[in-house]
Structure 1
């Protein structure tokens, strides 16, 4: 049985976790996530779309942009911090917002630690976090 799928061959989110290091590259968070799922989890565009609750055409576009920006594969090493794939299923939030909120609220990391992991500036991380929190309070 293919990893990440249940007996009915439908996408199962419980077994897929993504190393946080993939988000610290020159790729956008969406591009990095799709490239990882396609190259390392060997999922199809349709499967990735179902997993992330997004259209497979957008998934194809993200993968196409990712392969143009980064022709080589990720150097994936065993990671101390794995991100559960299901946090990215809510389409009301961009992938970076969901990632930052997860790292700050669930993993209790500081803004400085998140900046270093994701190779982003402190102002970017802080802005993304505040925007996501504000969206959460409006709902």
Structure 2
């Protein structure tokens, strides 16, 4: 089997397992992603695995799955660097373009992963290509975001990104504004609006 097909199969496995989880379990799963794929090297890898195991224990028992299998699924989560965002594209356009061009996913698969209508995804990608034809460059990425955070239909893509960066990485509004290439006041407003929805 070609490496591209193997990668696609792994992504499909991780996605199908993820969508079985309740909203609370999805939150735990995402939190564990940060522990197992740490960006802030404050703890040793072993410390982070211990923390992740404590979080994942209820999921492990409920779904009768080993920690090794869970960790594999977490590592297969589709992650993208926060550094891909730019002034030309909306957050959703950036995410769709990255998953299509850098991860080689079909628009239909992207629609499934981020929980958006297929026609909307097609239009989003079409607009993204017109506005920004270059490939993304995200060398030395410091913050990885799981694509699955965009599956929460209560929030817009921008709201999802802001909430994730604020709550999972403890970034302040200014730091998030720099990453997302947005105004500080916009980030503050978006976060307040998102918190009312959740």
Q: TM-score, normalised by structure 1?
A: 0.89
Give the match for residue 159 of structure 2. 97
Give unpaired runs (5+ residues) of structure 2: 1-5, 19-73
Larger Cα-atom Rg: 2
Quote how far apart the aligned CAs of 1:6 are: 2.0
Show structure 1 runs of 4+ deviating over 6 A.
none
Q: Does residue 124 in structure 1 map to residue 186 in structure 2?
A: yes
Question: What pairs up with 1:48-87 in 2 under 5 angstroms?
Answer: 48-87=110-149
Q: Structure with the greater relative contact order (CA < 8 A, sep ≥ 6): 1 or 2? A: 1
Q: TM-score, normalised by structure 2?
A: 0.63
Pick closer, same or farther for the CA change 1:131–1:119 going to 2, 3 Å: same
Number of matched pairs: 134
Q: Does residue 2 in structure 1 map to residue 64 in structure 2?
A: no
> Where is the helix percentage greater, Structure 1 or Structure 2?
2
* Structure 2 Cα separation of the partners of residues 86 and 78 of structure 1: 22
* Structure 2 Cα separation of the partners of residues 16 and 29 of structure 1: 16
Give unpaired runs (5+ residues) of structure 1: none
